[in-house]
Chain A
Amino acid sequence: MSDTKTAPAPGDRTVIGITFGNSNSSIAYTVDDKAEVIANEDGDRQIPTILSYVDGEEYYGQQAKAFLVRNSKNTVAYFRDFLGKDFKSIDPTHNHASVHPEDVDGSVSFTLKDKEGEDAAPSTLPVSEISTRYLRRLVNSASEYLGKKVTSAVVTIPTNFNDKQKAALIAAAAAANLEVLQLISEPIAAVLAYDARPEAEIKDKIVVVADLGGTRSDVTVVASRGGLYTILATAHDYDFAGAALDKVLIDHFAKDFAKRNQGIDPRENARSLAKLKFEAEATKRALSLSTNANFSIESLAEGLDFSSTINRLRYETIARSVFEGFNRLVESVIKKAGLDVLDVDEVILSGGTAHTPRIAANFGAIFPESTTILAPATTPTAINPSELQARGAALQASLIQEYEAEDIDQSTHAAVTTVPHITNAIGVLSVSQSGEEVFVPIVFPETAVPARRTVVVAAPKNGGDVLVKVVEGNTHIKVTQPQPKANGGDSKAAKVEDANSDEDSDFSDEEEEDEEEKREKVWKVGATLAEAAIRDVKKGGKVEVSINVNADLTVTVTAREVGAKGGVRGQLNA
């Protein structure tokens, strides 16, 4: 009726969140401020980003994935990352088992038969057209689920998407009659999904988002300050991802098969390899949930069936190098952000590969006890890692659906989003039991200004006049070397002795623990900013200190006794 090309009015929008991934995509909507991931007509919440054509019929998702074995010539997979890129800058590794990308005037295209009939001419479709068709299917299943035509969406993108890729994605969505309200970063969507839980409280924290996908892993360090998110560092890795784990399993079982069948290597046949890959993914998933998994393929190669089992321990052993790769990736990005593992308050595991229990356990070993690892294996209340981003996108969509497109544009403009972040913490000095000065942070480093923070600090036990000393502070890592053992000779002897006993492994663990250096995060007091006095505080009273850092870096300090009138207020000019 109305022109479909024009953007819908804010009131008429039906919005969803879309995670358009390279391997899998998800769609989510919000109901009563809670995000729910939509299952498509096949009942999948993670919908493989694959399109397949059989006799002119279009299949997508899990159905299309099954066609990778039988109809690989007309099945397109792993195309999201090619969107908006030149042919020369793409990595076609993962497209080996599906339609290969082609160079058409520098842009990426795929040639496949998408029309009915045996002798129908194959079409050459640019990646944008493939994306449009895929997005259209996603939107259709969301529309069917919701019973309303979906008009608009928030779509998640990796942090390293450039403007051209963003524009290409928006154009592809527009061609599918979908208004893109906003493109948001995948890690931020994951953080938002956690922060939007009703039980979550907004704290100042450093979050590491490890988005471990099928073909790529992206790790991001995010400073979450009063609900504002700032990305401090990112790392992208295309080697350590789900596909690498699949490969480990494929190799393992292929060797097993060869051993049993006179050295026939199923990896040499494209179809057998596709079958192996399909089953390896399923086995990998099963191993995330249980300790044992079957691996069976009918007619794997040369008509020979194959059936085997693997337990989780074995899997973790053979995939160890990949798991270690994830560890290194996370450590490197924290270093890149100029932080230490001790600075990290939360680790969010996102993406399909994040279901793997070993990865979460490994991360738990890197980070101190105080760090929360948000993964299903370590935190029972964790949100399904595969659904995080779609949920975040849906939440953002519900937040901005009432806004005019122009309003959204203006709000996301660099003039609004680029703000100073203070380098040093601002806090007050309090006194510890031993009488030392202790820095109490009020505004944490990397807080975006303007910022307002308030703390309530106890007054001295006896009350009276109180000094509020506002100072800058920063952290450093204090390394305490282990105390050399008094009787070194003895321990050595004990070690030798124990090495002979059967339980040496246990003992050496203990030993290591003892010898490990102790690392702590301590606040170092920096320059003094201001001093204020609160007079005649009651016995057992409390003092509320509130610090307001304005956009021009002027600081307003307000201090007052809780429950009393008046107070002290002063300003520091920038």
Chain B
Amino acid sequence: MATTLVSLPLPSLPEGWAAEKDFKPIGKITKDGATQRTIEPVGPHFLAHARRARHKRTFSEDDRIQAQERAKNVEDVDEGEISEPEDLMMLQRDAKDWKNQDHYKVLGISKYRYKATEDQIKRAHRKKVLKHHPDKKAAAGRSDDDNFFKCIQKATEVLLDPVKRRQFDSVDEEADVEPPTKKQLQKGNFYKLWGSVFKAEGRFSKTHPVPQLGDDKSSKEDVENFYNFWYNFDSWRTFEYLDEDVPDDNENRDQKRHVERKNANARKKKKAEDNARLRKLLDDCSAGDERIKRFRQEANAAKNKKRLEKEAAEKKAAEDAAAKKEAEEKAAKEAEEKAKIDREAGKKAKEAAKNAVKKNKRVLRGSVKDANYFVSGDAAPATIDAVLGDVELVQGKVDPDELAALAAKLNGLKLADEIKNVWTEEVKRLVAAGKVNKSEIKAFSS
């Protein structure tokens, strides 16, 4: 803060006033003499306050530190900017040949090139002028040596005019970064090598920011974004700078138009070539870009995964169906065979049973015959008829097993009584079982 000036004078020291070191503390500011309030955190002075408070600096300390920092800042800006050595060949340049001169190099800011700010250019110009002014050369005894000075002036003229500077930047090949060769790529880092190429190409972009190549960790979106941007690159690059000089005498209008047309065509051609060049760069880069391959593989893998899964599912379903069919066929075959065997066995058994039944029936009939129809002497035909009728009846009522059991019981028996007993029992059993009506029985009814 500025110190204020007060015109009213201070009082004179009263007689007899004395104190140690001429200072006499009397009062003090008490806590009541202050209110806690909040200062608004706004404005440069607050920032200074905050800096002091946070770093616990006093006013004078802070002033000192700030002054130091400011001083350093100024130095930083000055140093290192324009200290490029001047090439002797360059100093010998003919100012008339300004189209072929490297304006940045002439001003000694070739390391900045298209990145040089207007301020840098102005300062570089000033510095060069101070060094190469023709008056100074004249003072050194070399009069009329203003060639390089003219180069400087021309360079400044071009670089400080935004339109002309763009035209020059368009054809400033020194700023180009050559695309890496295969050999370099084998050794070096793909992303670093190509990244710097595109960074340099990005200077022609009309739209900003220009997406960077990134690295192998970049997301698919970023990579696609990058290639989309570059394949649709909107460039301000022009090739007017390389135009042939148009004769400006009014003598020959046709010639003038001819040259103009030629220039326009040349520009168009160069622009097309430049676009083709950029396309090729991109093609080369994308061809070598591992990320794209990876993304494609991943995409393919994802797609294939689905397809394979589907195919596998289909295959499995087919296999399952075939297996099922086979199993069914097998089962059917087996069943058929079994049925056949069963059938045959059944046939045999049936025949056997039939035979057995026949045999047993014979036994049964034989037994009553053996017993002479349970009469002594010649049996009357009626008796025989009755007995045989019963036998027939019993035979018809019993099943083959019972028949077999009955036959077994009768087999071997010779005595008429025993045979009759067996029969009677059998009949009794059948009657009890309800298979035979008692009234039907004639001979064995006892």
State whether the Cβ of A418 lies closer than 8 Å to any Cβ in chain B. yes
B19 contacts partner chain A, Cβ-Cβ < 8 Å: yes
Across the interface, A184 reaches (CB within 8 A) one of B21, B37, B41, B209, namely B41
Contact of A533 among B8, B13, B42 (CB under 8 A): B13
B40 CB contacts on chain A under 8 angstroms? 184-185, 188, 222, 228-231, 417
Q: Would you list which residues of chain A between 419 and 453 have a CB under 8 Å from chain B? A: 419-424, 426, 428-432, 437-438, 440, 446, 448-450, 452-453
- Residue in B2, B22, B43, B58 whose CB lies within 8 Å of A534: B22
Contact residues of B between 1 and 35, Cβ < 8 Å to A? 1-14, 17, 19, 21-35
Closest-by-CB residue of A relative to B12 is A460
CB <8 Å contact, A440 and B6: yes
CB–CB A400/B3 < 8 A:
no
Which B residues are CB-close (under 8 A) to A468?
Answer: 10
Contact B14 A467 (CB under 8 A): yes
Check if A572 sits within 8 Å of B46, measured CB to CB: no
- On whether the beta carbons of A458 and B28 are closer than 8 Å, the reply is no
Partner of B11, one of A182, A203, A469: A469
Please give the distance in Å from A164's CB to the nearest CB on chain B. 19
Q: Is A331 close to B, CB under 8 A?
A: no
Cβ contact within 8 Å between B46 and A571:
no
The 8 A CB mask of A52-80 against B (1 = contact, 0 = none) is: 00000000000000000000000000000
Is A573 interfacial (CB 8 A cutoff)?
yes
Q: A1-B225, A464-B12 are in contact. Are A230 and B212 (CB under 8 A)?
A: no
Residue A557 at the chain B interface, CB threshold 8 Å = yes
Give A202 to B2 CA distance when docked, in angstroms: 8
Cβ B9 vs Cβ A430 within 8 A? yes
Tally of contact residues, A, Cβ under 8 A:
96
> B8: which A residues are within 8 A, CB to CB?
430-432, 438, 440, 457-458
A228 CB contact (under 8 Å) in B10, B22, B36, B46: B46
Q: Is A368 an interface residue (CB 8 A)?
A: no
A416 touching B47 in the complex, CB below 8 Å, given contacts A530-B26, A531-B19, A532-B22: no
Within the complex, the shortest CB–CB distance from A191 to chain B, in Å, comes to 8
Contact A573-B46, Cβ < 8 Å, known A1-B225, A421-B35, A457-B6: no
Which of B48-56, B249-257, B328-336, B387-395 forms part of the interface with chain A? Answer: B48-56
Question: Chain A CB within 10 Å — which of B7, B46, B53 has the most?
Answer: B46
Is residue B211 contacting chain A, with contact meaning CB distance below 8 A?
Answer: yes
- Whether a CB of chain A sits under 8 angstroms from the CB of B287 is no
> Is A347's CB within 8 Å of the partner chain B?
no
Interchain CA distance A437-B9 in the complex, whole Å: 10
Q: Given the interface contacts A457-B10, A532-B23, does A184 sit within 8 Å of B42 by beta carbon?
A: yes
Instruction: For the complex, give the distance between the alpha carbons of A549 and B26 in Å.
Output: 16
Query: Provided the pairs A410-B54, A420-B35, A448-B39 are in contact, do residues A467 and B45 lie with their beta carbons within 8 angstroms?
Result: no
Question: Can you spell out 5 A-B residue pairs with CB atoms less than 8 angstroms apart?
Answer: A228-B40, A446-B37, A468-B10, A529-B28, A530-B23
9 tightest A-B contacts by CB? A227-B45, A570-B23, A420-B34, A465-B13, A411-B50, A412-B41, A430-B8, A533-B22, A229-B40
Chain A interface residues toward B at CB < 8 A: 1, 148, 182, 184-185, 188-189, 192, 195-196, 201-203, 222, 226-232, 392, 395-396, 399-400, 410-412, 414-424, 426, 428-432, 437-438, 440, 446, 448-450, 452-461, 464-469, 472, 527-535, 542-544, 548-551, 553, 555, 557, 568-574
Residue positions of B touching A, CB distance < 8 A:
1-14, 17, 19, 21-54, 58-59, 208-209, 211-212, 214, 222, 225
